[in-house]
Structure 1
Amino acid sequence: MKESLYNDAVELLKQLISTPSFSKEENDTAEIIINFFTTHGIPCSRVGNNIYAKNKHYDVNRPSVLLNSHHDTVKPNKGYTLDPFTPIVKDDKLFGLGSNDAGGCLVSLIATFLYFYDKDNINHNVVFAASAEEEISGVNGIELVLPYLGNIDFGIVGEPTKLEMAVAERGLMVIDCVAPGRAGHAARNEGENALYNAVDDINWIRNYKFDKVSELLGESRLTVTVIGTENTQHNVVPSTCKYVIDVRVNELYTFEEILDALKANLKSSFKPRTTRMKSTSIKLDHPLVKAGIALGKGYYGSPTTSDKALMPFSTLKMGPGDSARSHTADEYIYLSEIKDGIETYIKLLEQIV
């Protein structure tokens, strides 16, 4: 049965690679996933571009585990030498956009769901969701479908982690800043240069260190990634200068604490774009983590964010593939990684459900 699940998973991934599914444009891959479930005699439902299904013997009185990964992709970068939408198998590698992030995880979790779907001797419900808009943290992704899934007690989020356990994840907050100034003529040394005020603030941001360092996630970090003025003339002192801070937060700080530190030290006004992507962690004595440890899996804190940040229950981020390959040219996943992913997910859940 597992060999058949693996073969079906690989063929499904090839179909998904062949079908563009950029964030907010996942309609066609949503249909492919629906057709896959239909072919296997499994009822499923759709909310926006999110697809979900529940095990055959779903019981509202049982605890539920969610299996989730996303089917949207980023756009291919300019370094591709292969057609990003043509699945190519060579030397155990399956090439194609989204193969590693997170197609391999997605199809491995689908295969795992199929394995448990009609079992009537399990003490947990197994719920599956393929989410949209993960790559842009969109509001029509996992948050849209969660209310339809019933009560979820814990979950596995499929992202490429080399099948190691990401038990914690940095939070992400993007902040738009405006440094004040006053326009004037550069030749007469008039006005107040907003660009210089921005540089003063950026120097503080660059050198500031938060005291609390996480054993899993390290320091919380502030990084300025964008800067600019609206000036088009060289001889005008800019009256405003806009810049953007990328904030990566460990589990020891709240977003409010980060914003308080900025308020106390910056001349610039600022506003966070969103505070949805909070830092998350799962306890090391959680049954999922203990099951992974029993399988010989290590654990770590992940520097990247995922749909895990938007789930109001404990989740373990884990999956086949390597995060270092995500968003790279000529993206690929090893076929053996998919086979290992299915085997690992099944063994993990067999200890629990």
Structure 2
Amino acid sequence: MKTIKQLTLEAIDLLKNLISTPSFSGEEHHTALLIEAWFTHNNIPYKRENNNVWAYNKYFDESKPNLLLNSHQDTVFPNKEYTHNPFEAIEKDGKIFGLGSNDAGGCLVSLLAVFTYFYSHKDLKYNLIMVASAEEENSGAKGLNSVLKHLPTLACAIIGEPTLMQLAIAEKGLLVLDIIVKGTASHAAHNNPNNSIYNALPVIEWFKDYSFEKISEVLGPMKMTVSQIDAGKQHNLVPEQCRLVIDIRVNDCYTNEEIFSIIDKSLSSEKVLITPRSLKQKSSSIPKTHPLVLAGIELGRETYGSPTLSDQAVLTCPSLKMGPGNSLRSHTADEYIFREEIEEAIPLYIELLNKTLL
């Protein structure tokens, strides 16, 4: 069996290869090949559908609960402010630069190393399933959500996202609403008591002023933002419609369906049509008393609630978000991760799972 040091060196090499291989959401074919090569090199059978690659521990036992290890291989498009090639893995001053290094390449290669470390262990309390998923950044239909139907029931999960290896025990969900506010088209010179833009004002005011009663202990209050407005094409024509987009960050006190129901009952009318883009990106959490969380606290990790969305949103089991890197670096120009963060993450993950699996 390889040592932790060997696995760490190989994981960092894989990270550099991933950085050098473009993998925008939906275009991860070549990074999926790199992950296949990792499994092949380590004599681990794997499965693949679209650009998702997954594997099970050697001594998988159907009678045991299943623990998912997951992180994503896709990236956003590079920020225009990059000062160097985003697809060149540059190591300098202890940092590994490159697109996807922090979000979430460092997490992905760390979890692959950890899964490989435990792959041949016998008598684990949980089965381990490793999924290197696609289309996380665009919440695509061919991401982790498409793999779940192939997996056995999951008891819990660790989602690799940059958290400075702290314990994100809850994550806000996302609900995006498209709203059409109707009115009557007319010449701007004439009196029009049914101006769609004016009709939209009380709708905007409602979202500005409304407060949901339940406040999460970990995630805090709900947050609703009118983020887009579109109406009219020329100065002298009152438009028949005013379109709004609402960004809603959902805490773990409400389901997306409950939120939509409250808004729909409050605002929908003949003049106001509300359509949710998706109800699937729900909030997620894991109890503070869960063995994974207790093990992390014992290792000196802190718990917190995360405002950013991840593949946790498609899971129904308790899930913990935890990984090397800093979320504040994600999607920024000259993205990087410290080499030391990966070197520390892999043994820390292993300690966490030793306390949970053995």
Residue identity matched to 1:36: W
State the alpha-carbon separation in 2 of the partners of residues 268 and 341 from structure 1: 50
Letter paired with 2:264: K
- Number of residues of Structure 1 aligned to a counterpart in Structure 2: 352
The CA deviation string for residues 71-118 of structure 1, in whole angstroms up to 9 with x for no partner, is 011111111111110000011100000000000000000000010011
Q: 2:90 aligns with which of 75, 88, 92?
A: 88
Identity across the alignment (%): 51
Deviation at 1:63, TM superposition (A): 1.9
Alpha-carbon distance in structure 2 between the residues aligned to 1:259 and 1:206: 16
Deviation, structure 1 residue 154: 1.1
Deviations 1:237-263 (A, max 9, x none): 111011100011111122233223322
Residue 123 of structure 1 deviates from its aligned partner by 2.7
5+ residue gaps, structure 1, are none
Aligned counterparts of 2:253 and 2:238: Cα–Cα separation in 1 = 41
Task: Please state whether the residue corresponding to 1:196 is helix, strand or coil.
Answer: helix
Among candidates 276, 279, 282, match of residue 272 of structure 1: 276
Counterpart residue type for residue 290 of structure 1:
L
Q: Is the 8 A contact 2:166 2:301 kept in 1?
A: yes
Structure 1 residue 212: Cα displacement: 1.4
User: Residue 319 of structure 2 aligns to which amino acid in structure 1?
Assistant: T
Q: Name 2:13's counterpart in structure 1.
A: 11
Which of 65, 70, 77 is the equivalent residue of 1:75? Answer: 77
Report if aligned partners of 2:257, 2:279 keep a CA contact under 8 Å in 1.
no
Deviates more, 1:264-273 or 1:113-122: 264-273
Deviations 1:10-61 (A, max 9, x none): 0000010001101111111101100111112111110111000111111212
Question: 1:190 Cα deviation (Å)?
Answer: 3.2
1:335 aligned onto 2:339: yes
Secondary structure of the corresponding residue to residue 187 of structure 1: coil
Distance 1:256 1:27 in 2: 35
User: For residue 118 of structure 1, what is the aligned residue in structure 2?
Assistant: 120
Q: Deviations over 1:244-288 (max 9, x none)?
A: 000111111222332233224336211000000111111111110
TM-score (norm 1): 0.97
Partner of 2:162: 160
Q: CA deviation at 1:191?
A: 5.7
> What RMSD over aligned residues (CA atoms) do the two structures have, in Å?
1.2
1:292 aligns with 2:281: no
Instruction: Name the CA distance, whole Å, in 2 between partners of 1:338 and 1:44.
Output: 24
**CA offsets 1:191-215 (integer angstroms, 9 cap, x no match):** 6211122222112211221121111
Q: Where do 4+ consecutive residues of structure 1 move more than 6 Å?
A: none
- The answer to whether the Cα contact below 8 Å between 2:71 and 2:161 also exists between their aligned partners in 1 is yes
Letter of the 1:286 counterpart: H
**2:54 corresponding residue in structure 1:** 52
Q: Which runs of 5+ in 2 are unaligned?
A: none
Query: How much does 1:141 deviate?
Result: 0.6
C-alpha distance in 2 between matches for 1:152 and 1:203 = 42
Q: Which has the larger displacement, 116-125 or 21-30?
A: 116-125
> When the two structures are superposed, what TM-score results if normalisation uses the length of structure 2?
0.96
**Does the 8 Å contact 2:71/2:107 carry over to 1?**
yes
